[in-house]
Chain A
């Protein structure tokens, strides 16, 4: 239980185009979704926190106009990388906090490998 489905798993896009990444909570409601970015051989860096029905909160240094986050329902959060550039190539992964009756931990999506050419 408590599965977050993330799509696509891999995407290659041309520089200047936009890419949308989706994370769906399959068997629970995720009021909050966290978006991380991971460059090769580095840690997971929190980009932003999305809250259902309200604006996302971005971490310092993350451009909110470039990384658009939408959390319109309790089961879906999306991250759109706009006007992608090669330096945006990275592994993007979402995470949701679980309620106490679900173990009170965090569950992660399977990640999206974005390559901008």
Chain B
């Protein structure tokens, strides 16, 4: 089945620095890759997504890159702020009949003031 691997599991950066989280996926047919931010006890919130017809997408301080050949995609957060501290999950769409999202294991990001 579909498998999504995410690294690192924890990431600590100084405020203002950049943070990069990487994911790999197994289903070569996957064509949708969202990133979610989850705060404790809350629902995941979509922060950015990318589809396989593009290689990069940017939204202010957040960017996502996709390498379909290598089957990996990355989240880049620039100029990090303390409020960016949260758990981040990548996900990939499994292209079976149900179109289910399979999540990575998560990255706990801590931005130190």
Residues of A whose CB lies within 8 Å of any CB of B are: 32, 34, 36, 41-46, 49, 51, 57, 60, 91, 93, 95, 97, 105-106, 108-111, 113
Contacts and interface: CB of A to CB of B under 8 A. Distances in A.
A32 B43 CA distance: 18
Interface of B: 1, 34, 41-44, 46, 49, 89, 98-106, 108
A23 to B, nearest CB: 11
Nearest to A50: B98
Given A43-B106, A95-B101, A110-B42, 12 more contacts: A34-B100, A36-B103, A43-B105, A44-B44, A45-B103, A46-B101, A57-B98, A93-B43, A97-B99, A105-B34, A106-B101, A111-B42
Contact of A106 (B1, B34, B98, B105): B34
B102 A46 contact: yes
- The 3 A-B pairs at the shortest CB distance, nearest first, are namely A108-B43, A49-B98, A44-B103
Contact of A110 (B43, B49, B103, B104): B43
Nearest to A46: B100
Contacts of B103: 36, 43-46
Nearest to A91: B41
A111 B34 CA distance: 19
A113 B40 CA distance: 11
20 contacts: A32-B98, A32-B99, A34-B100, A34-B101, A36-B103, A44-B44, A46-B100, A46-B101, A46-B102, A46-B103, A57-B98, A60-B1, A93-B44, A95-B101, A97-B99, A106-B46, A108-B43, A111-B41, A111-B43, A113-B41
Contacts of A97: 99
Nearest to B44: A108
A67 B22 CA distance: 33
Contacts of B99: 32, 97
A90 to B, nearest CB: 12
Q: Give the residue among B41, B46, B98 with the most A Cβ atoms within 10 A.
A: B98
Contacts of B43: 93, 108-111
